[in-house]
Structure 1
Amino acid sequence: MLIEKKVEEKRTSKTILFGKEKLTIEDVNAIAHNDADVCLSDDESFYEKVTSGAEFLERLLKEDGVIYGVTTGYGDSCTVQVPLDKVDELPLHLTRFHGCGLGEFFNELEGRAILAVRLASLSQGVSGVRWRMLRQFETLLNKNIVPVIPKEGSVGASGDLTPLSYVAATLIGERDVYFEKEKRATAEVFEELDITPLKLKPKEGLAVMNGTAVMTALACLAYSRAEYLTRLCTRITSLCSLALKGNSNHFDDILFSVKPHPGQGQIATWIREDLHHDHHPRNSSRLQDRYSIRCAPHVIGVLRDSLPWMRQMIEIELNSANDNPIIDGAGEHVLHGGHFYGGHIAFVMDSLKNCVANLADLMDRQMALLVDNKFNNGLPNNLSAAVSDRKPLNHGFKAVQIAVSAWTAEALKNTMPASVFSRSTECHNQDKVSMGTIAARDCVRVLELTEQIASALLMASTQGLELRMRQNELEKSSLSDSILQTHNEVFEHFEILTEDRPLDKELRKFVDLIQLQVWSTY
């Protein structure tokens, strides 16, 4: 089977090194999907850079140095001096008083991404943590022990403190984890696997928690899903154009040469190739198709053209040290700043969800054209394949179109930018915050809804194509190989809708396959 073969092909395992080269969005996704092991680089200079910071902090403590979050309280409490005989208790208190997250929990895939991104930051070697802490992250990922992290409670500066407290708690053997598809107490799993819980050194609780790992992890996952949607939505547009007897001249290369946005032009090229325009131009009886077909490259192209700068911002954040203070072990500096601020990720996520919601809206309009016999150029009403006296009983995709409209409305509602809703918190110490994690969570929700819409459109557009062939209005031999491949993949999991039946299980299956990114695209 075509789809099953692709799923199997995706299950490749590789090893991703931390501390050697910069990580990519694809690296984080591979780790999140458990398609890659992780390993700390054995480069001696990497080891020395990490350990020099921890050793420098130890020397400062012995010299009674004043270090934020090490010998002082946190945030607005930085003026409170912590006695040296109590500093070892301070990070434990930090992990515990931030244990107030609520809402749904991040799934295992998201949790693995969060672990990977936090390890990436600590691997910059300027957080003042011991080598053993990095090893503990490595163990969690390779044994697939994933913290159970609530989604709600972060304002995105001072980093993702509350959700990352659940990561810190896991390192020390507290709270709960996902292990072997079950939610279990961390202490039980550690005992079972003979893993020794960490005892946090004074700066280590802050180093784990005071950063942008949650929002950045979600951004890496969201980017990959959005990039795939640009390709899938393009293929769906090609299917819709064929099903609606559209005019392929709308995607002509000369036409797009005079408005040369590269991403937009790429979308037009893909559609043109799908439609065999260069060899078999399809000229509709209408001079111009409706905008949701004719302007599809202009809609999808906005996201496609935005992906490069989004990648740049995400990957810079991914490969940054984003906690506070920064510990320069070699130069023996403690640098207090605000690198935990998630403004770049917040902006990317607010922008990405806007672009993705426009894909949802585009496909919603395409769906409306397909099911309405006033606009679908001779297809049956609601795309029903029922014939003769069964026609009055059957309603085809009528309810699916209503559901698509509901999903679209919810996606559009979630495009309100979160990054402008800063709140002053923590005794006005954190008086300007990024809201990056809320923006990222919103973006993930918009992606989920858009993937649901795409699953419906894959069925509907392919059914429309099949009906054209059954009505002898389209020759199968005239279709491009790419369109035929998608047609065949869809009908592996979908039987043409003749008699009404519930479609929810098939829709869920299609969403799962979209998220696995196995439908044929480009």
Structure 2
Amino acid sequence: MHLADIQSARRAVRFDRNRLTIEDIVAIAQGQASAELSPDPDFRAAIARGADFLDRLLREDGNVYGVTTGYGDSCTVTIPPDLVAELPHHLYTYHGCGAGRYFDPAETRAILAARLASLAKGYSGVSVELLLQITRLLDAGLLPLIPAEGSVGASGDLTPLSYLAAVLCGEREVWRNGQIVDAAIALREAGITPLKLRPKEGLAIMNGTAVMTALACLAYDRAEYLVRLATRITALASYALDGNAHHFDEVLFSVKPHAGMQGVAAMLRTDLPTTVWERNGKRLQDRYSIRCAPHVIGVLADALPFFRANIENELNSANDNPLIDGDNERVLHGGHFYGGHIAFAMDGMKNAVANIADLLDRQMALLVDARYNNGLPANLSGSTGPRAAINHGLKALQISASAWTAEALKLTMPASVFSRSTECHNQDKVSMGTIAARDCLRVLELTEQVVAALLVTVRQGAWLRARVTPELALQPHLVQMVEALGIAPIEEDRRLDGEIRALVGKIRGKAWELYAQG
């Protein structure tokens, strides 16, 4: 199938003044959807009114921050009329000081989509042509090469978004088919004419929360799947440990009315029916990492609606400064670039996610320890006979999982409390939302590695439990899940890094259908 055929087969996400969802941004980020600027004449006229009002204000010698003045603390500096047109170029040029890794293509597509969403609200004083130029970059697969570090999250994501502004004008570099290419060459070869930014357009592109919001959308998508996958792992761990399914009893959970926690317990009941699992001689109460798993996973499950509301409200906001009310011909100076809601959501999410990593790490510690795993071999080694002496099972994998967990827990310090006064004390209280979002994605990455280790572990534990306690029945859909992992039982020691990486890829691709979503 040709590229044009693939593009035409994708659904289109329409950008106008209507509300977008996290799923819309994720679909664009993953290449499953295209970005389409609404062709509606009324919508486009509303966008144009803001830009036209600004033009008229300039002709009438109006004083507009960031248009006829310098930026930030330099707002007291008046720009000579003959230099006003050059100001946007200087803005994105001097902000070209980012560092660190580059955002990957999926993250970058999400950033472009999030910025387009805000500008399409019609309060930024930009032209329709600017919005179309962003869609052209996405359609052509020309993605600005954006360094991840350098934003304090207010006055917006200035430094990273300067790379978008520059590329729109044919400067700096882009990703193209996985290669780094000079933007001027890439635009020319794609038949895209570089923009000459209008007076406020540089500020409108850069002075907003698009980077942190885009990353938050991606983080939410991964965290939502983590809830279900950690629940399934807990079910398999309980089976492998010959645990007590009655810990997830419906009446028991009815008296602690946290809906997300109750939902986790309900999912566990579909995997662990008590009629199959009741046997004499069981330990009366399982250890906390099994018995209290709904309470740990449920914190994230219950927080997800709050996170969604805050992320989607930010996504659907006009968040630069000043805002331009073209209908009423007003210039509104404020601080909507402040990313506090995203910062708080990301700090909260990384805490809840890291606690799930810790939960699973504790489950693994039980599973590999012959003192606590109810009759399974030490380190879940599958080797028997004389060769058992030289085989070590999952001993090293448990060490690695513990290291990943420790790093995830270390990153839970909230970024939002580390506000710094910057830019001559003009930006004297900042959100740190982008740092919080990057931290959250790193915590998710580490937790997904722990999840991969646990998938290997529960697969091995389930195989050994069937061998040690053959009368225990595993639900058919759990058998299917184990088989779908694509991991052979470990009888002789083998390297596992390739399998771990493959599992992490499957986790991020949501390879397994997990429970019905209501």
TM bucket, shorter chain: over 0.9
Q: 1:486 aligns with which of 481, 488, 492?
A: 481
CA distance in 2, matches of 1:389, 1:468: 21
Contact 2:15 2:37 in 1 (8 A): yes
CA-atom RMSD in angstroms:
1.3
Residue matched to 2:377: 380
SS state at 1:334 partner: strand
- Does residue 32 (structure 1) correspond to residue 32 (structure 2)? The answer is no
**Shift of residue 20 of structure 1?**
5.0
Residue matched to 2:492: 499
**Shift of residue 482 of structure 1?**
2.7
CA distance in 2, matches of 1:309, 1:365: 28
Residue matched to 1:325: 322
- Does residue 335 (structure 1) correspond to residue 332 (structure 2)? The answer is yes
Counterpart amino acid of 2:208?
Answer: G
Q: 2:107 aligns with which of 104, 110, 114?
A: 110
Cα shift readout 1:391-426 (whole Å, capped 9, x = no counterpart): 011101000000011001000000000001111000
**Shift of residue 279 of structure 1?**
5.8
Instruction: Note closer, same or farther for the CA distance 1:486–1:284 as it changes in structure 2 (3 Å cut).
Output: farther
Contact 1:155 1:438 in 2 (8 A): yes
CA distance in 2, matches of 1:518, 1:481: 18
Q: 2:146 aligns with which of 149, 153, 156?
A: 149
Counterpart amino acid of 1:479?
Answer: L
Question: Which stretch has the larger CA shift, 479-488 or 369-378?
Answer: 479-488
Q: 1:181 aligns with which of 158, 169, 178?
A: 178
Cα shift readout 1:296-326 (whole Å, capped 9, x = no counterpart): 0000001100110110000000000000000
Q: 2:233 aligns with which of 213, 231, 236?
A: 236
Residue matched to 1:3: none
Q: 2:264 aligns with which of 251, 267, 273?
A: 267
- Does residue 448 (structure 1) correspond to residue 441 (structure 2)? The answer is no
Q: 1:194 aligns with which of 180, 191, 196?
A: 191
Residue matched to 1:357: 354
Counterpart amino acid of 1:256?
Answer: F
Instruction: Note closer, same or farther for the CA distance 1:279–1:368 as it changes in structure 2 (3 Å cut).
Output: closer
Residue matched to 1:315: 312
CA distance in 1, matches of 2:220, 2:348: 11
CA distance in 1, matches of 2:306, 2:9: 29
Contact 1:156 1:433 in 2 (8 A): yes
Contact 1:248 1:282 in 2 (8 A): no
Residue matched to 1:517: 510
**Shift of residue 481 of structure 1?**
3.1
SS state at 1:17 partner: strand
**Shift of residue 223 of structure 1?**
0.5
CA distance in 1, matches of 2:43, 2:466: 62
CA distance in 2, matches of 1:362, 1:12: 41
CA distance in 2, matches of 1:488, 1:154: 45
- Does residue 52 (structure 1) correspond to residue 61 (structure 2)? The answer is no
CA distance in 2, matches of 1:333, 1:272: 58
Residue matched to 1:6: none
Residue matched to 1:8: none
**Shift of residue 269 of structure 1?**
0.6
- Does residue 123 (structure 1) correspond to residue 120 (structure 2)? The answer is yes
Cα shift readout 1:192-239 (whole Å, capped 9, x = no counterpart): 111100000110000000000000000000001011000000000000
Counterpart amino acid of 1:469?
Answer: A
Q: 1:250 aligns with which of 247, 251, 255?
A: 247
Contact 2:17 2:121 in 1 (8 A): no
CA distance in 2, matches of 1:435, 1:323: 16
Instruction: Note closer, same or farther for the CA distance 1:283–1:18 as it changes in structure 2 (3 Å cut).
Output: farther
Residue matched to 1:4: none
Counterpart amino acid of 2:478?
Answer: I
Q: 2:400 aligns with which of 396, 400, 403?
A: 403
Instruction: Note closer, same or farther for the CA distance 1:12–1:245 as it changes in structure 2 (3 Å cut).
Output: farther
Cα shift readout 1:255-277 (whole Å, capped 9, x = no counterpart): 10111211000000101111123
SS state at 1:450 partner: helix
* TM-score normalised per structure 1: 0.96
CA distance in 2, matches of 1:479, 1:12: 41
CA distance in 2, matches of 1:263, 1:279: 25
Residue matched to 2:466: 469
Contact 1:71 1:84 in 2 (8 A): yes
Counterpart amino acid of 2:483?
Answer: N
Contact 1:156 1:341 in 2 (8 A): yes
CA distance in 1, matches of 2:195, 2:280: 69
SS state at 1:99 partner: coil
Identity in percent: 61
Mapping of residues 52-131 of structure 1, within 5 Å: 52-131=49-128
CA distance in 1, matches of 2:135, 2:239: 50
Cα shift readout 1:467-516 (whole Å, capped 9, x = no counterpart): 111234345xx3223312211111x2x11111111100110000011011
SS state at 1:69 partner: coil
CA distance in 1, matches of 2:13, 2:414: 34
Contact 1:246 1:283 in 2 (8 A): no
Counterpart amino acid of 2:493?
Answer: D
CA distance in 2, matches of 1:322, 1:411: 31
Question: Which stretch has the larger CA shift, 406-415 or 282-291?
Answer: 282-291
Contact 2:17 2:122 in 1 (8 A): no
Residue matched to 1:209: 206
Instruction: Note closer, same or farther for the CA distance 1:262–1:13 as it changes in structure 2 (3 Å cut).
Output: same
**Shift of residue 462 of structure 1?**
1.1
CA distance in 2, matches of 1:31, 1:484: 34
Contact 2:244 2:277 in 1 (8 A): no
**Shift of residue 96 of structure 1?**
0.4
Contact 2:375 2:468 in 1 (8 A): no
Counterpart amino acid of 2:242?
Answer: K
Q: 1:430 aligns with which of 407, 410, 427?
A: 427
Counterpart amino acid of 1:157?
Answer: A
Contact 1:395 1:500 in 2 (8 A): yes
SS state at 1:16 partner: strand
Contact 1:49 1:126 in 2 (8 A): no
**Shift of residue 147 of structure 1?**
0.9
Counterpart amino acid of 1:45?
Answer: D
CA distance in 2, matches of 1:95, 1:364: 45
CA distance in 2, matches of 1:446, 1:294: 24
Structure 2 unaligned regions, length at least 5? 1-7
